[in-house]
Structure 1
Amino acid sequence: MKTYIRRREENDHLIVFYGDWGTDENLFTPLCRSDFDSIIFYNYSANEALVLPEKKTYKSVALIGWSLGVWAAEYLFLKTGIAPDVTIAVNGTPVPADEKYGIPHRIFEGTLNNISDRAMNKFYLRMFGDKTTLLKYRDRMPQRSIKSLQDELRWLYNRTMEQTEPGFRWDYVVTSRDNRVYPVKSMTGYWEKRKNTTQIVLPLPHYVFHEWTSFRDFVQFVKSFGPEGKTP
Protein backbone atom coordinates (compact mmCIF):
# COMPACT_ATOMS: atom_id res chain seq x y z
CA MET A 1 0.00 0.00 0.00
CA LYS A 2 1.09 3.54 -0.72
CA THR A 3 0.35 6.61 1.38
CA TYR A 4 0.54 10.27 0.39
CA ILE A 5 0.54 12.74 3.29
CA ARG A 6 0.30 16.52 3.15
CA ARG A 7 0.05 18.42 6.42
CA ARG A 8 0.75 21.80 7.99
CA GLU A 9 0.97 22.37 11.72
CA GLU A 10 -1.64 25.14 11.71
CA ASN A 11 -4.31 23.12 9.86
CA ASP A 12 -7.20 21.80 11.95
CA HIS A 13 -9.16 19.97 9.22
CA LEU A 14 -8.24 16.57 7.75
CA ILE A 15 -9.49 14.74 4.68
CA VAL A 16 -8.69 11.03 4.31
CA PHE A 17 -9.12 9.65 0.79
CA TYR A 18 -9.11 6.01 -0.33
CA GLY A 19 -8.45 5.79 -4.07
CA ASP A 20 -9.61 3.32 -6.67
CA TRP A 21 -7.57 0.47 -8.11
CA GLY A 22 -5.07 1.47 -10.77
CA THR A 23 -4.43 4.99 -9.50
CA ASP A 24 -1.62 6.83 -7.77
CA GLU A 25 -1.13 10.19 -6.05
CA ASN A 26 -0.63 12.10 -9.34
CA LEU A 27 -4.37 12.12 -9.98
CA PHE A 28 -5.28 13.49 -6.55
CA THR A 29 -2.57 15.89 -5.39
CA PRO A 30 -4.19 18.89 -7.19
CA LEU A 31 -7.22 18.33 -4.93
CA CYS A 32 -5.06 18.62 -1.79
CA ARG A 33 -4.84 22.27 -0.81
CA SER A 34 -2.84 24.08 1.84
CA ASP A 35 -5.83 24.95 4.06
CA PHE A 36 -6.42 21.34 5.15
CA ASP A 37 -4.34 18.24 5.82
CA SER A 38 -4.63 15.28 3.46
CA ILE A 39 -3.94 11.55 3.65
CA ILE A 40 -4.37 9.53 0.46
CA PHE A 41 -4.25 5.73 0.39
CA TYR A 42 -3.77 3.95 -2.93
CA ASN A 43 -2.00 1.04 -4.65
CA TYR A 44 -3.32 -1.50 -2.17
CA SER A 45 -1.29 -4.64 -1.65
CA ALA A 46 0.39 -6.58 1.12
CA ASN A 47 3.87 -5.64 -0.08
CA GLU A 48 4.19 -2.43 1.94
CA ALA A 49 3.23 -1.57 5.49
CA LEU A 50 0.58 1.01 6.33
CA VAL A 51 2.22 4.42 6.77
CA LEU A 52 0.52 7.01 8.98
CA PRO A 53 1.52 10.48 10.19
CA GLU A 54 1.95 11.35 13.85
CA LYS A 55 -1.26 11.79 15.82
CA LYS A 56 -2.83 15.22 15.63
CA THR A 57 -6.09 16.74 16.91
CA TYR A 58 -8.50 18.12 14.31
CA LYS A 59 -11.75 20.09 14.43
CA SER A 60 -13.12 17.92 11.64
CA VAL A 61 -12.15 14.73 9.82
CA ALA A 62 -13.82 13.73 6.54
CA LEU A 63 -13.33 10.33 4.93
CA ILE A 64 -13.91 9.70 1.21
CA GLY A 65 -13.86 6.25 -0.37
CA TRP A 66 -13.91 6.13 -4.15
CA SER A 67 -14.90 2.93 -6.02
CA LEU A 68 -12.80 0.07 -4.58
CA GLY A 69 -11.72 2.63 -2.00
CA VAL A 70 -15.15 2.21 -0.39
CA TRP A 71 -14.21 -1.37 0.47
CA ALA A 72 -10.64 -0.34 1.38
CA ALA A 73 -11.89 2.29 3.83
CA GLU A 74 -13.90 -0.33 5.71
CA TYR A 75 -11.04 -2.83 5.61
CA LEU A 76 -8.42 -0.38 6.89
CA PHE A 77 -10.52 1.75 9.23
CA LEU A 78 -9.50 0.08 12.50
CA LYS A 79 -5.87 -0.17 11.41
CA THR A 80 -5.56 3.59 10.82
CA GLY A 81 -7.04 4.67 14.12
CA ILE A 82 -8.54 7.72 12.39
CA ALA A 83 -12.14 8.40 13.46
CA PRO A 84 -14.03 10.47 10.84
CA ASP A 85 -16.83 12.95 11.55
CA VAL A 86 -18.36 12.44 8.12
CA THR A 87 -18.00 9.58 5.64
CA ILE A 88 -18.67 9.72 1.90
CA ALA A 89 -18.77 6.74 -0.47
CA VAL A 90 -18.30 7.59 -4.15
CA ASN A 91 -19.21 5.22 -6.99
CA GLY A 92 -18.68 1.99 -5.13
CA THR A 93 -20.02 -0.39 -2.50
CA PRO A 94 -18.44 -2.33 0.39
CA VAL A 95 -18.87 -5.52 -1.67
CA PRO A 96 -16.99 -4.69 -4.91
CA ALA A 97 -16.84 -8.25 -6.28
CA ASP A 98 -20.45 -9.35 -6.10
CA GLU A 99 -23.09 -10.51 -8.57
CA LYS A 100 -25.81 -8.34 -7.06
CA TYR A 101 -24.18 -5.35 -5.42
CA GLY A 102 -20.79 -5.03 -7.10
CA ILE A 103 -18.83 -5.96 -10.20
CA PRO A 104 -19.67 -9.50 -11.38
CA HIS A 105 -16.93 -12.05 -10.69
CA ARG A 106 -16.42 -12.90 -14.36
CA ILE A 107 -15.71 -9.24 -15.17
CA PHE A 108 -13.45 -8.83 -12.14
CA GLU A 109 -11.51 -11.97 -13.03
CA GLY A 110 -11.44 -11.05 -16.72
CA THR A 111 -9.89 -7.70 -15.86
CA LEU A 112 -7.33 -9.36 -13.61
CA ASN A 113 -6.32 -11.88 -16.27
CA ASN A 114 -6.05 -9.39 -19.12
CA ILE A 115 -4.22 -6.36 -17.76
CA SER A 116 -2.13 -4.67 -20.45
CA ASP A 117 -1.27 -1.15 -21.57
CA ARG A 118 -4.09 -1.28 -24.11
CA ALA A 119 -6.58 -2.57 -21.55
CA MET A 120 -5.61 0.15 -19.07
CA ASN A 121 -6.04 2.86 -21.70
CA LYS A 122 -9.59 1.61 -22.24
CA PHE A 123 -10.17 1.48 -18.50
CA TYR A 124 -9.05 5.08 -17.99
CA LEU A 125 -11.26 6.20 -20.88
CA ARG A 126 -14.27 4.59 -19.18
CA MET A 127 -13.20 6.08 -15.86
CA PHE A 128 -13.12 9.65 -17.18
CA GLY A 129 -16.13 9.16 -19.42
CA ASP A 130 -14.85 10.71 -22.66
CA LYS A 131 -11.67 11.51 -24.57
CA THR A 132 -11.85 15.23 -23.81
CA THR A 133 -11.65 14.69 -20.06
CA LEU A 134 -9.06 11.94 -20.48
CA LEU A 135 -6.80 14.28 -22.48
CA LYS A 136 -7.27 17.00 -19.88
CA TYR A 137 -5.73 14.66 -17.31
CA ARG A 138 -3.01 13.17 -19.50
CA ASP A 139 -0.28 14.78 -17.36
CA ARG A 140 -1.86 13.34 -14.22
CA MET A 141 -2.28 9.78 -15.40
CA PRO A 142 -1.06 7.07 -13.00
CA GLN A 143 2.55 5.99 -13.50
CA ARG A 144 2.14 2.32 -12.72
CA SER A 145 3.75 -0.84 -14.08
CA ILE A 146 1.60 -3.69 -15.37
CA LYS A 147 2.97 -5.92 -12.61
CA SER A 148 1.99 -3.46 -9.88
CA LEU A 149 -1.53 -3.24 -11.33
CA GLN A 150 -1.80 -7.02 -11.42
CA ASP A 151 -0.46 -7.41 -7.89
CA GLU A 152 -2.84 -4.81 -6.52
CA LEU A 153 -5.96 -6.17 -8.19
CA ARG A 154 -5.11 -9.76 -7.21
CA TRP A 155 -4.62 -8.69 -3.59
CA LEU A 156 -7.88 -6.74 -3.61
CA TYR A 157 -9.83 -9.59 -5.16
CA ASN A 158 -8.50 -12.12 -2.66
CA ARG A 159 -9.22 -9.86 0.32
CA THR A 160 -12.75 -9.02 -0.79
CA MET A 161 -13.50 -12.75 -0.96
CA GLU A 162 -12.53 -13.12 2.71
CA GLN A 163 -14.22 -10.11 4.26
CA THR A 164 -17.79 -9.83 5.47
CA GLU A 165 -19.48 -6.46 5.85
CA PRO A 166 -18.31 -4.93 9.16
CA GLY A 167 -21.18 -2.44 9.47
CA PHE A 168 -19.18 0.69 8.71
CA ARG A 169 -21.22 3.92 8.85
CA TRP A 170 -21.53 5.78 5.55
CA ASP A 171 -23.24 9.16 5.91
CA TYR A 172 -23.42 9.94 2.20
CA VAL A 173 -23.08 8.10 -1.08
CA VAL A 174 -22.45 9.78 -4.43
CA THR A 175 -23.27 7.71 -7.50
CA SER A 176 -22.91 8.66 -11.17
CA ARG A 177 -25.59 8.03 -13.75
CA ASP A 178 -22.97 7.83 -16.52
CA ASN A 179 -20.73 5.31 -14.75
CA ARG A 180 -19.02 2.92 -17.19
CA VAL A 181 -16.85 1.15 -14.59
CA TYR A 182 -19.10 0.18 -11.67
CA PRO A 183 -22.61 -1.06 -12.54
CA VAL A 184 -25.10 1.67 -11.64
CA LYS A 185 -27.86 -0.86 -10.93
CA SER A 186 -25.61 -2.67 -8.44
CA MET A 187 -24.75 0.51 -6.58
CA THR A 188 -28.34 1.72 -6.51
CA GLY A 189 -29.57 -1.65 -5.26
CA TYR A 190 -27.02 -1.74 -2.47
CA TRP A 191 -27.42 1.81 -1.19
CA GLU A 192 -31.22 1.75 -1.29
CA LYS A 193 -31.13 -0.71 1.60
CA ARG A 194 -28.86 1.58 3.64
CA LYS A 195 -31.60 3.83 4.98
CA ASN A 196 -29.27 5.99 7.07
CA THR A 197 -27.09 6.91 4.09
CA THR A 198 -28.04 10.04 2.14
CA GLN A 199 -27.95 9.28 -1.58
CA ILE A 200 -26.80 11.81 -4.17
CA VAL A 201 -27.01 10.98 -7.87
CA LEU A 202 -24.98 13.06 -10.33
CA PRO A 203 -24.85 13.18 -14.16
CA LEU A 204 -21.12 12.37 -14.16
CA PRO A 205 -18.74 9.51 -15.09
CA HIS A 206 -16.95 7.18 -12.68
CA TYR A 207 -14.35 9.85 -11.86
CA VAL A 208 -16.30 12.79 -10.45
CA PHE A 209 -13.66 14.97 -8.82
CA HIS A 210 -12.84 17.07 -11.89
CA GLU A 211 -15.96 19.09 -11.02
CA TRP A 212 -14.33 20.51 -7.86
CA THR A 213 -11.11 22.41 -7.18
CA SER A 214 -10.33 20.57 -3.94
CA PHE A 215 -11.43 17.68 -1.76
CA ARG A 216 -12.71 20.19 0.78
CA ASP A 217 -14.98 21.81 -1.82
CA PHE A 218 -16.32 18.36 -2.69
CA VAL A 219 -17.03 17.56 0.96
CA GLN A 220 -18.84 20.87 1.44
CA PHE A 221 -20.92 20.19 -1.66
CA VAL A 222 -21.93 16.76 -0.39
CA LYS A 223 -22.75 18.03 3.11
CA SER A 224 -25.06 20.65 1.63
CA PHE A 225 -27.57 17.93 0.72
CA GLY A 226 -30.48 17.24 3.02
CA PRO A 227 -31.06 13.86 4.70
CA GLU A 228 -33.34 12.73 1.86
CA GLY A 229 -30.75 13.37 -0.82
CA LYS A 230 -31.58 14.63 -4.27
CA THR A 231 -30.66 14.44 -7.92
CA PRO A 232 -29.30 17.67 -9.44
Structure 2
Amino acid sequence: MKTQLMTTQPQKQPNLIVYFAGWGTPISAVAHLDLPQDYDLLICYDYQNLHLDFDFSPYQQIRVVAWSMGVWVADQVMQNIPLSSATAINGTGLPCHDQFGISCEIFKGTLEGLTEESRVKFERRICGDKRNFAIYQQLAEPREFAEIHAELTALYEMIQTQKPQSILWTDAVIAEQDRIFPAQNQFAYWQRHSPAVHISKIAGAHYLFPAMSTWAELWEPRTV
Protein backbone atom coordinates (compact mmCIF):
# COMPACT_ATOMS: atom_id res chain seq x y z
CA MET A 1 0.00 0.00 0.00
CA LYS A 2 0.95 3.63 -0.29
CA THR A 3 1.10 6.06 2.63
CA GLN A 4 1.40 9.78 3.12
CA LEU A 5 2.17 11.47 6.44
CA MET A 6 0.64 14.88 7.03
CA THR A 7 1.23 17.30 9.87
CA THR A 8 0.37 20.91 10.56
CA GLN A 9 3.65 21.52 12.38
CA PRO A 10 7.32 21.29 11.30
CA GLN A 11 7.95 18.55 13.85
CA LYS A 12 6.09 15.32 14.53
CA GLN A 13 3.19 15.56 16.94
CA PRO A 14 2.71 13.22 19.95
CA ASN A 15 -0.48 11.60 18.60
CA LEU A 16 -1.49 10.02 15.30
CA ILE A 17 -4.61 9.40 13.23
CA VAL A 18 -4.28 6.51 10.78
CA TYR A 19 -6.80 6.82 7.97
CA PHE A 20 -7.49 3.84 5.71
CA ALA A 21 -9.10 5.14 2.54
CA GLY A 22 -11.74 3.44 0.47
CA TRP A 23 -10.87 1.64 -2.75
CA GLY A 24 -10.02 3.85 -5.70
CA THR A 25 -10.31 7.11 -3.78
CA PRO A 26 -7.57 9.75 -3.58
CA ILE A 27 -6.21 11.20 -0.36
CA SER A 28 -7.74 14.55 -1.27
CA ALA A 29 -11.24 13.14 -0.62
CA VAL A 30 -10.73 13.96 3.07
CA ALA A 31 -8.56 17.04 2.63
CA HIS A 32 -11.21 19.35 4.10
CA LEU A 33 -11.15 17.69 7.55
CA ASP A 34 -9.23 19.71 10.16
CA LEU A 35 -6.58 17.92 12.19
CA PRO A 36 -6.88 18.21 15.98
CA GLN A 37 -4.08 19.86 17.87
CA ASP A 38 -1.18 17.51 18.69
CA TYR A 39 -2.04 15.04 15.93
CA ASP A 40 -0.31 13.89 12.77
CA LEU A 41 -2.27 12.13 10.02
CA LEU A 42 -1.11 9.01 8.20
CA ILE A 43 -3.18 8.27 5.09
CA CYS A 44 -3.08 4.71 3.75
CA TYR A 45 -4.39 3.95 0.26
CA ASP A 46 -3.83 1.99 -2.99
CA TYR A 47 -4.03 -1.50 -1.54
CA GLN A 48 -2.19 -3.50 -4.19
CA ASN A 49 -0.47 -5.18 -1.24
CA LEU A 50 -0.82 -5.18 2.54
CA HIS A 51 2.67 -3.96 3.37
CA LEU A 52 2.50 -1.03 5.81
CA ASP A 53 6.02 0.31 6.38
CA PHE A 54 5.69 2.85 9.19
CA ASP A 55 7.15 3.32 12.66
CA PHE A 56 4.30 3.84 15.13
CA SER A 57 6.50 3.74 18.23
CA PRO A 58 7.01 7.52 18.70
CA TYR A 59 3.28 8.19 19.13
CA GLN A 60 1.46 8.24 22.47
CA GLN A 61 -2.08 7.89 21.14
CA ILE A 62 -3.02 6.21 17.87
CA ARG A 63 -6.53 6.41 16.47
CA VAL A 64 -7.71 4.47 13.42
CA VAL A 65 -10.36 5.83 11.06
CA ALA A 66 -11.21 3.43 8.23
CA TRP A 67 -13.67 3.93 5.42
CA SER A 68 -15.28 1.31 3.20
CA MET A 69 -12.71 -1.25 2.00
CA GLY A 70 -10.24 0.37 4.37
CA VAL A 71 -12.02 -1.35 7.28
CA TRP A 72 -10.89 -4.76 6.03
CA VAL A 73 -7.37 -3.47 5.39
CA ALA A 74 -7.11 -2.01 8.91
CA ASP A 75 -8.17 -5.39 10.32
CA GLN A 76 -5.34 -7.04 8.43
CA VAL A 77 -2.45 -4.67 9.21
CA MET A 78 -3.10 -3.04 12.61
CA GLN A 79 -3.29 -6.19 14.72
CA ASN A 80 -0.26 -5.48 16.93
CA ILE A 81 -0.61 -1.71 17.28
CA PRO A 82 -2.10 -0.36 20.55
CA LEU A 83 -5.04 1.89 19.68
CA SER A 84 -6.87 4.59 21.62
CA SER A 85 -9.88 4.22 19.32
CA ALA A 86 -10.86 2.64 16.02
CA THR A 87 -13.76 3.97 13.95
CA ALA A 88 -15.18 2.01 11.00
CA ILE A 89 -17.17 4.04 8.48
CA ASN A 90 -19.46 2.29 6.01
CA GLY A 91 -17.45 -0.90 5.84
CA THR A 92 -17.00 -4.29 7.50
CA GLY A 93 -14.37 -6.93 8.05
CA LEU A 94 -16.13 -9.14 5.48
CA PRO A 95 -16.37 -6.83 2.46
CA CYS A 96 -17.23 -9.55 -0.08
CA HIS A 97 -20.10 -11.31 1.69
CA ASP A 98 -23.80 -11.64 0.90
CA GLN A 99 -24.87 -11.12 4.51
CA PHE A 100 -22.18 -8.93 6.06
CA GLY A 101 -20.73 -6.87 3.21
CA ILE A 102 -21.11 -6.24 -0.50
CA SER A 103 -22.81 -9.16 -2.24
CA CYS A 104 -20.26 -11.46 -3.87
CA GLU A 105 -21.99 -11.14 -7.25
CA ILE A 106 -21.88 -7.34 -7.19
CA PHE A 107 -18.28 -7.25 -5.96
CA LYS A 108 -17.08 -9.58 -8.71
CA GLY A 109 -19.23 -7.83 -11.31
CA THR A 110 -17.75 -4.45 -10.38
CA LEU A 111 -14.26 -5.82 -10.98
CA GLU A 112 -15.08 -7.63 -14.22
CA GLY A 113 -17.00 -4.68 -15.65
CA LEU A 114 -14.69 -1.91 -14.51
CA THR A 115 -14.20 0.80 -17.14
CA GLU A 116 -13.67 4.56 -17.05
CA GLU A 117 -17.42 4.97 -17.49
CA SER A 118 -18.39 2.51 -14.75
CA ARG A 119 -15.89 4.18 -12.44
CA VAL A 120 -17.78 7.47 -12.77
CA LYS A 121 -21.06 5.66 -12.11
CA PHE A 122 -19.51 4.12 -8.99
CA GLU A 123 -18.40 7.55 -7.77
CA ARG A 124 -21.93 8.85 -8.25
CA ARG A 125 -23.25 5.92 -6.21
CA ILE A 126 -20.86 6.51 -3.32
CA CYS A 127 -21.90 10.16 -3.19
CA GLY A 128 -25.62 9.52 -3.24
CA ASP A 129 -26.76 12.87 -4.67
CA LYS A 130 -25.63 15.66 -6.99
CA ARG A 131 -24.47 17.92 -4.15
CA ASN A 132 -22.15 15.34 -2.64
CA PHE A 133 -20.91 14.33 -6.08
CA ALA A 134 -20.04 17.95 -6.85
CA ILE A 135 -18.14 18.21 -3.56
CA TYR A 136 -16.33 14.95 -4.28
CA GLN A 137 -15.31 16.17 -7.73
CA GLN A 138 -14.00 19.42 -6.27
CA LEU A 139 -11.96 17.66 -3.59
CA ALA A 140 -10.90 14.46 -5.29
CA GLU A 141 -8.03 14.39 -7.76
CA PRO A 142 -8.76 11.26 -9.84
CA ARG A 143 -6.22 8.47 -9.62
CA GLU A 144 -5.04 6.64 -12.71
CA PHE A 145 -7.55 4.09 -13.97
CA ALA A 146 -4.91 1.36 -14.37
CA GLU A 147 -3.91 1.85 -10.73
CA ILE A 148 -7.41 1.54 -9.29
CA HIS A 149 -8.11 -1.48 -11.52
CA ALA A 150 -4.97 -3.18 -10.21
CA GLU A 151 -5.96 -2.23 -6.67
CA LEU A 152 -9.43 -3.78 -6.92
CA THR A 153 -7.98 -6.91 -8.56
CA ALA A 154 -5.50 -7.30 -5.71
CA LEU A 155 -8.15 -6.64 -3.06
CA TYR A 156 -10.48 -9.24 -4.52
CA GLU A 157 -7.73 -11.86 -4.56
CA MET A 158 -6.50 -11.02 -1.05
CA ILE A 159 -10.00 -11.09 0.43
CA GLN A 160 -10.43 -14.63 -0.90
CA THR A 161 -7.13 -15.87 0.56
CA GLN A 162 -6.39 -13.86 3.73
CA LYS A 163 -7.58 -15.20 7.07
CA PRO A 164 -10.33 -13.00 8.60
CA GLN A 165 -8.98 -10.87 11.44
CA SER A 166 -10.30 -8.01 13.52
CA ILE A 167 -8.86 -5.20 15.57
CA LEU A 168 -10.74 -3.86 18.59
CA TRP A 169 -13.18 -1.46 16.97
CA THR A 170 -14.73 1.12 19.27
CA ASP A 171 -17.16 2.80 16.85
CA ALA A 172 -19.02 1.88 13.67
CA VAL A 173 -20.67 4.63 11.64
CA ILE A 174 -23.38 3.41 9.26
CA ALA A 175 -24.96 5.67 6.64
CA GLU A 176 -28.60 4.77 6.17
CA GLN A 177 -28.54 5.58 2.44
CA ASP A 178 -25.31 3.69 1.68
CA ARG A 179 -25.59 2.20 -1.84
CA ILE A 180 -22.28 0.31 -1.65
CA PHE A 181 -22.25 -1.52 1.70
CA PRO A 182 -25.96 -2.01 2.51
CA ALA A 183 -26.75 -0.54 5.91
CA GLN A 184 -28.54 -3.70 7.05
CA ASN A 185 -25.47 -5.80 6.23
CA GLN A 186 -23.21 -3.46 8.18
CA PHE A 187 -25.54 -3.53 11.17
CA ALA A 188 -25.72 -7.33 11.04
CA TYR A 189 -21.93 -7.59 10.84
CA TRP A 190 -21.22 -5.41 13.86
CA GLN A 191 -23.90 -7.04 15.99
CA ARG A 192 -22.57 -10.49 15.13
CA HIS A 193 -18.81 -9.95 15.10
CA SER A 194 -18.20 -7.02 17.46
CA PRO A 195 -21.18 -6.61 19.80
CA ALA A 196 -19.32 -4.19 22.08
CA VAL A 197 -18.81 -1.61 19.32
CA HIS A 198 -20.81 1.61 19.53
CA ILE A 199 -22.97 1.86 16.40
CA SER A 200 -24.09 5.20 15.01
CA LYS A 201 -26.69 5.15 12.24
CA ILE A 202 -26.83 8.49 10.47
CA ALA A 203 -28.49 9.94 7.40
CA GLY A 204 -26.11 10.02 4.46
CA ALA A 205 -24.48 8.18 1.60
CA HIS A 206 -21.41 5.96 1.43
CA TYR A 207 -19.20 9.05 1.06
CA LEU A 208 -20.37 10.94 4.13
CA PHE A 209 -17.31 13.09 4.81
CA PRO A 210 -18.88 16.28 3.37
CA ALA A 211 -21.13 16.32 6.45
CA MET A 212 -18.05 16.59 8.70
CA SER A 213 -15.42 19.26 9.20
CA THR A 214 -12.94 17.71 11.67
CA TRP A 215 -11.35 14.31 12.23
CA ALA A 216 -12.31 14.42 15.90
CA GLU A 217 -16.00 14.11 14.97
CA LEU A 218 -15.26 10.51 14.03
CA TRP A 219 -14.43 9.32 17.54
CA GLU A 220 -16.18 11.80 19.83
CA PRO A 221 -19.26 10.48 21.68
CA ARG A 222 -22.39 10.35 19.54
CA THR A 223 -26.02 10.63 20.54
CA VAL A 224 -27.36 8.42 17.73
* TM-score for both structures, normalised by structure 1: 0.87
Whether the aligned pair in 2 keeps the contact of 1:176 and 1:204 (CA below 8 Å) is yes
Please list, as runs of the form range in 1=range in 2, the aligned pairs for 1:69-108 lying within 5 A after superposition.
69-78=70-79, 82-108=81-107
Deviation at 1:202, TM superposition (A): 0.3
- Give the structure 1 partner of residue 35 of structure 2: 33
Q: Secondary structure at the match of 2:70?
A: helix
Whether the aligned pair in 2 keeps the contact of 1:15 and 1:216 (CA below 8 Å) is no
Return 5+ residue gaps in structure 2 as ranges.
Answer: none
* TM-score for both structures, normalised by structure 2: 0.90
Whether the aligned pair in 2 keeps the contact of 1:87 and 1:169 (CA below 8 Å) is yes
Amino acid at match of 2:217: D
| Deviation sequence 1:139-162 (CA, Å, 0-9, x none) | 222421221111100111111111
1:125 aligns with 2:128: no
Amino acid at match of 1:74: D
Q: 1: distance between equivalents of 2:81 and 2:33?
A: 20
Whether the aligned pair in 2 keeps the contact of 1:32 and 1:38 (CA below 8 Å) is no
- Give the structure 1 partner of residue 4 of structure 2: 4
Larger relative contact order (C-alpha < 8 A, sep ≥ 6)?
A: 2
Query: Is 207-216 or 4-13 further displaced after alignment?
Result: 4-13
Please list, as runs of the form range in 1=range in 2, the aligned pairs for 1:1-232 lying within 5 A after superposition.
1-7=1-7, 8=9, 9=11, 11-33=13-35, 35=37, 36-46=39-49, 50-52=52-54, 55-58=57-60, 60-78=61-79, 82-193=81-192, 194-220=194-220, 224-225=221-222, 231=224
Q: 2: distance between equivalents of 1:34 and 1:170?
A: 21
Identity of paired residues, percent?
25
Q: Secondary structure at the match of 2:78?
A: helix
Aligned residues between the structures = 220
Deviation at 1:75, TM superposition (A): 0.9
Return 5+ residue gaps in structure 1 as ranges.
Answer: none
Deviation at 1:6, TM superposition (A): 1.2
Task: Sort the Cα spacing of 1:26 and 1:167 in 2 relative to 1 into closer, same or farther, 3 A.
Answer: closer
| Deviation sequence 1:192-220 (CA, Å, 0-9, x none) | 22221111100111112112212123322
